[in-house]
Chain A
Amino acid sequence: MQLLSSYNMLSLLTPPQGAEFVALIPGAILTLIALLFIIVDVFHRKGSSRDYQAYFAAIGLGLTAASCWYLWGSGLERPAFFGMLYFDRFSLFFSGLVSISGALAVLCSPAVLRSNQMERGEYYLLVLFSVIGMIFMVAAADLLTLFIAFEVMSIPLYVVAAFLRKDERSAEAGMKYFVLGAFSAAIMLYGIALIYGATGTTNLEYIAQNLEFLADGGTEHGGYGLVMVGVLLIFSGFAFKAAAVPFHLWAPDVYTGSPTPAVGFMATAVKAVAFAALVRVFVIAFPAEVLRGGFFGWGWIDVAYVLAIASMVLGNLVAVTQTSVKRMLAYYGIAHAGYLLVGFVAANSHPSFFLHNDAILFSLIAYTFALVGTFGVLSYFGRRGQAVETYEDLGSLGLKYPKMGLIMSICVLSLAGVPPTAGFLGKFYIFRTGVDVGLQTGEMALIVMVIVGVLTSVVGAYYYLKVLVYMYMKPAIREIEPLHNPGTKWATMICAILTIYIGLFPAKAIDICREAVMDMQGVPAAVQATIDRGEIELERRMEQWE
């Protein structure tokens, strides 16, 4: 049997089918908006307000999210453009989520930039470009498409991190993010190169087929160890973007130095995309079953397991000792990567639990709205020189600004996982997934992981309640003049309302997550069988309901 290759000379000269171009729509809309934005920025009159640019970018991102909603029913069975892009509900879900996250973040931005004397159109442009990269990254069906999209996503974010160039800490953030990010990209690219060397292709589905071939042939073909190293290198690239221990060291400094509203976007959208690509690549190309035991008796699932526990423990414990609110949120971000990895490990340990991946998606929705809202409120009190940094700075802000205080409380409670917010359900689904899978397979390790998760989230409640205590029960230590920005008020209000709404009426959001997971294209036969069983189960339940 020959190793399969996706390279076809004739395909380079024949245009794709007309129907395939639908796969480009969300990305193309945003690209057009970004190009239009350049023209608008070029003809901007110097000295006039740039607030309209924030609305322009937000409307563009909103249109993209709307197009994802509109295209929900029209997926493609095969990857478009000769095996380059998947167009299914899974990619549409994440395209929509990151667009919304970006839109909410840019709405919060103009006053912060003006206060730092860095009001420039490029900021919005960079966010738009980054979202374009994310949209293509979640749809990638080929490791090279994935890597290019990964860089299109990352490079603008390095610049955004360093955008407040008059601020030393922002420059530090940009530098750290850039150097470490470039390393992680190189490590991932090396992994891709090793995979290509071992399997002869970069296409995800062909990699899976060739891996089975390598597994059948035993190790005398060589290359199996190469595959394991490649898989681990690719995994560490994603873990870096998701800020999981031990690839988390950049997160606290970058989150502290970057422009506050942009952090909300960087922390949520990048994490969402990293997990989307992680699920896509590892489910399609590197099935846990095939690769189990290939690496000194361990598989990547064991590596993810260790990372999950380490992230939850370290993230939550270090967050307790922080005095800066932004640093605390950064360490919570690390812990949240751990929670998501719990879901990832449980759902992907065996093909028959694939449908449990919807817990990751739901948790990401909850996390996105709560964190963007929190950083939005912090940016509202982010006037240069007076910005809220420590817990003490939050003193009695909740009493002085009741609306913002309420929004902050809702978002913070959601992050802490207190009912009836979306964050509670997000954590609940993640842990339930772990327990379900653990009970069905009899793997005590999964149960232990969930126990660690629950105990550490109790720790998390401590430092989140501390925010509330300072906001409502401690005196103010200094006068803080807020940045009056209507966009921030609207964006944070949307975040708070959605956090409560999804917490109270989660059915719609759960349906969307489930549909997104069930519609994932290109999965191996064992996973497809699980999806088919799930669909039959769902229909049966619907009939019973009626």
Chain B
Amino acid sequence: MVLADYIPLILLTLMAFGVVVVIISLAQFFGPKNPTPEKMMPYESGSNPIGEPHGMRFSVKFYMVAISFILFDLETIFVIPWAMSWQDSNALGHGFYSFSVMAIFLTILTIGLVYEWSQGGLEWD
């Protein structure tokens, strides 16, 4: 194990911290401030995270958002590795096969989206 190998990793960590500190402090000094109670809450997908865990109720609409998220999240998870390795597949002469496999997958997901849309899953009210 050579320590020099980890220098990029350390640099990345430092930069990540640095960017966050810079952005937050810039917002602190130059940003406009007109606070409302909702804005002062810690971020927890719209529900108040401080208080009794049992009595807290939140809208079932969030589940619909979560389900839509899964739909698109899955799409990303599978499409990005596919896009990364399509070149290799094409080089072996199987480009059209790889393409059609992904086309079938996307068609199935799209039908899921059509169904969600028709059931009103994309409307908030």
Contacts and interface: CB of A to CB of B under 8 A. Distances in A.
Interface in A18-35: 35
Interface in A115-166: none
A42 B121 CA distance: 13
A35 B94 contact: no
A13 B94 contact: yes
A38 B94 contact: no
A35 B85 contact: no
A35 B109 CA distance: 10
B88 interface: yes
Contacts of B69: none
Contact of B114 (A14, A15, A38): A38
Given A42-B114, A42-B118, A13 B108 contact: no
Interface residues of A, number: 8
Given A13-B85, A13-B89, A39 B94 contact: no
Nearest to B91: A13
B97 interface: yes
A155 to B, nearest CB: 14
A41 B112 CA distance: 12
Contacts of A13: 85, 88-89, 92, 94
B92 A35 contact: no
Contacts of B112: 38
Contacts of A15: 94, 97-98
A14 B94 contact: yes
Interface in A315-343: none
Contacts of B114: 38-39, 42
Interface in B71-98: 85, 88-89, 92, 94, 97-98
B71 to A, nearest CB: 14
A35 B111 contact: yes
Nearest to B107: A35
Contacts of B115: 38, 41-42
Contacts of A41: 115
B92 A39 contact: no
Interface string B110-125: 0110110010000000
A35 B108 CA distance: 7
B92 A38 contact: no
Contacts of A39: 111, 114
A14 B98 CA distance: 9
Interface in A23-82: 35, 38-39, 41-42
A39 B118 CA distance: 10
Interface string B42-54: 0000000000000
A233 B29 CA distance: 60
A231 B65 CA distance: 40
A38 B119 CA distance: 11
Nearest to A36: B111
Nearest to A28: B104
Nearest to B108: A35
Contacts of A42: 114-115, 118
B114 to A, nearest CB: 6
A39 B97 CA distance: 26
Contacts of B89: 13
B30 to A, nearest CB: 49
A94 to B, nearest CB: 24
Nearest to A44: B118
B101 to A, nearest CB: 8
A156 to B, nearest CB: 14
Contacts of A35: 108, 111
B88 A38 contact: no
A524 B114 CA distance: 47
Most buried by A among B92, B108, B115: B115
A13 B118 CA distance: 37
A52 B108 CA distance: 23
A19 to B, nearest CB: 15
Contacts of B108: 35
Contacts of B85: 13
A83 to B, nearest CB: 18
Nearest to A31: B108
A35 B97 CA distance: 22
Most buried by B among A14, A15, A35, A39: A15
Contacts of B92: 13-14
Interface string A400-439: 0000000000000000000000000000000000000000
B111 to A, nearest CB: 5
A505 to B, nearest CB: 43
22 contacts: A13-B85, A13-B88, A13-B89, A13-B92, A13-B94, A14-B92, A14-B94, A15-B94, A15-B97, A15-B98, A35-B108, A35-B111, A38-B111, A38-B112, A38-B114, A38-B115, A39-B111, A39-B114, A41-B115, A42-B114, A42-B115, A42-B118
Interface of B: 85, 88-89, 92, 94, 97-98, 108, 111-112, 114-115, 118
Closest 6 CB pairs of A and B: A15-B97, A42-B118, A38-B115, A15-B94, A13-B89, A35-B111
Given A13-B92, A35-B111, A38-B111, 9 more contacts: A13-B85, A13-B88, A13-B89, A14-B94, A15-B94, A35-B108, A38-B112, A38-B115, A39-B111
